[in-house]
Chains A and B, each alone.
Chain A
Amino acid sequence: DQQVKQNSPSLSVQEGRISILNCDYTNSMFDYFLWYKKYPAEGPTFLISISSIKDKNEDGRFTVFLNKSAKHLSLHIVPSQPGDSAVYFCAASAGRDMRFGAGTRLTVKP
């Protein structure tokens, strides 16, 4: 099931800089997109979401951008902090169920 793809398994960023995590999807029926953050030994924690009727949603240091024509979304974290170091999963939904990408491990260096 490759409906949601995160092609970068890892990303390393300096503290204070911007982190950009990318996600692509193939199913045009998806209308709701989410980012989850996961620490070791914990479940995924909801971070931010965006509906397909929008192209941007912002919550504090986190902004999600959606490009429907390219079937692409991205998560921007600015400024990045060491506590942001985790695995970030992109997810997409077509109403009921959700599909995850493979995740990107973000490391923010002090």
Chain B
Amino acid sequence: GENVEQHPSTLSVQEGDSAVIKCTYSDSASNYFPWYKQELGKGPQLIIDIRSNVGEKKDQRIAVTLNKTAKHFSLHITETQPEDSAVYFCAGKGGGTSYGKLTFGQGTILTVHP
């Protein structure tokens, strides 16, 4: 089945800096890669996603890039703000026998210092 590895586990940045979180996946048939943000005491919420036929997607200060050859994808947050502090999870949706199953990475705790 799919295996998703996420790095780093913690990330600390100053307000206004950029933050990058990276994930690798194992299943070359995976075709959907969402990113979820979990604020303290809340459930995860989808912030951006990318499908395997696209290399990059942007939504205001957030962007995701996908390298299918290397089987990795990254979340980029520019001009970080204190409200970006949260736990971020990447995920991959498997193909083949794992079709439809979403496998999550281990999570990254992002702290943005004012």
A binds B: no
Which residues of B are at the interface with A, using a C-beta cutoff of 8 A? none
Which residues of A are at the interface with B, using a C-beta cutoff of 8 A? none
